[in-house]
A and B are shown apart, each in its own frame.
Chain A
Amino acid sequence: MSTFVYMTRCDGCGHCVDICPSDIMHIDENIRRAVNIEPNFCWECYSCVKACPNHAIDVRGYADFAPMGHSVRVRREEEKGTISWKIKFRNGTTKNFVSPITTKPWGKFIPKLADGDKPNKDEINSQRLFTEPEGLNIDGELPVIPKDSFKKGVYY
């Protein structure tokens, strides 16, 4: 599944470009509207869908397993602090949910990378992420699966 943009709704504000964790939401050079440049790499996180102030972004299912007719849409009301979901099933059943927005203010809970120590070359080339292994709540090294334990026929 991947996001797509209703061109009549989009006003090219750039919120989706900024928030997309895969960096695949970009601005079309012909019409200056948002476009998902690489649908294969969209992991349906819904960040852009929720961030869009004009509800211009939707997510579609692949036609082979999710025939047209269903929809999962979201309305983020920042002034109310709520995020509402409407799930429409293929048989027409709809369900509505309302939750509080749990987005943390910028800089308060997000690691301040600029304040930390500069990583050395080994750390840059390491497979570990910034918060690992502490963030995984494990002691020592990351768990490793030895290649010889893979099932026969799986090659890496």
Chain B
Amino acid sequence: MLLINPFSILAQTISPLVLQFFVIVMVGLVIIGTLVDIIHKKNVKYFFDNAKKAKLSATRKIGTGERVVVIAKTVVHDIATTAELGAGKRRVAHVLGMYGTILFWIATVVMIFCYTSADSVTPGVWPMMWHIGAILTCIGGYWFWLFLRVDVLAEAYPWYRIIKADLFVLALLACATFGLAWSYTQSLNLENRWDDKVFLTLYIISNLILFGGVYWSKFAHMFYKPGAAIQKNLAEADGSRDNLPPLADKPKQFGLGIKREEPKHY
């Protein structure tokens, strides 16, 4: 199963062009959803207005070279490892889900656009990447959704309470889970069985919800968060620091503070 391109088998019954068109439509839905989100919530406008305001209280001017270094450091340290989540389970779960999803999506696009024609042979690395990506997404996603979600951990709600904010993570998990189930049942070569068709249908529906629901879900945080991290580090570099005090100089060790114990006191 891990080395089989599930889309090449599907392409025997459905034209590869249909698959490619579906991917393009999904990309289009993400772009439209994000743009509508930006226009409606005005969050990007607020973000840039705020950054402009913060610039007025800058204590030093940073050149282009330094700006590039700060951005590069942010990409490598903050964005690539989701440093804002600190050290802990949430960060591990998020990194698993993030890289899993990236692998899953990249492999999907490559396999659909390059290896669905009748005469093409899929290198084993792409299906492997697709399956591993989906598995990582499931591990990180279910771990987050069942145990680490702030609703469960801090608000003490049961794991089965579903709210609008769950739309993104649940749709993503549905994509990965049904994708894996479809790939597995399809690899069994069960002639005229319903299994793989049901899971394929569920996989398509969950993709439509995930990419079509960008406006209503947290999907766009993938684009906003890196921008916010860059702005935060640029503000630290130019001394404006969003009005925050500078880092304490020559501190002493006074105590452990509230982080010694996980915030779970009921």
Contacts and interface: CB of A to CB of B under 8 A. Distances in A.
Given A11-B85, A85-B245, A103-B255, A29 B164 contact: yes
A101 B43 CA distance: 35
Contacts of A86: 243-246
B67 interface: no
Contacts of A103: 255, 257-258
B251 A27 contact: no
A82 B228 CA distance: 25
A38 interface: no
Contacts of B227: 8
B247 A53 contact: no
Contacts of B265: 18, 106
Contact of A54 (B84, B224, B252, B254): B84
Nearest to B94: A11
B138 to A, nearest CB: 20
B52 interface: no
B260 A81 contact: no
Contacts of B165: 27-32
B254 A101 contact: yes
B255 A73 contact: no
A14 B263 contact: yes
A31 B218 contact: yes
B84 A11 contact: yes
A100 interface: yes
A74 interface: yes
B119 interface: no
A12 interface: yes
A77 B151 contact: no
Nearest to B152: A14
A14 to B, nearest CB: 3
B163 interface: yes
B247 A75 contact: yes
B248 interface: yes
A28 to B, nearest CB: 7
Contact of A106 (B242, B246, B248, B261): B261
Interface of A: 7-9, 11-15, 17-19, 26-32, 51, 53-55, 71, 73-78, 80-82, 84-86, 88, 96-98, 100-106
Given A96-B245, A105-B255, 8 more contacts: A14-B155, A15-B263, A32-B165, A73-B244, A81-B251, A84-B245, A103-B255, A106-B258
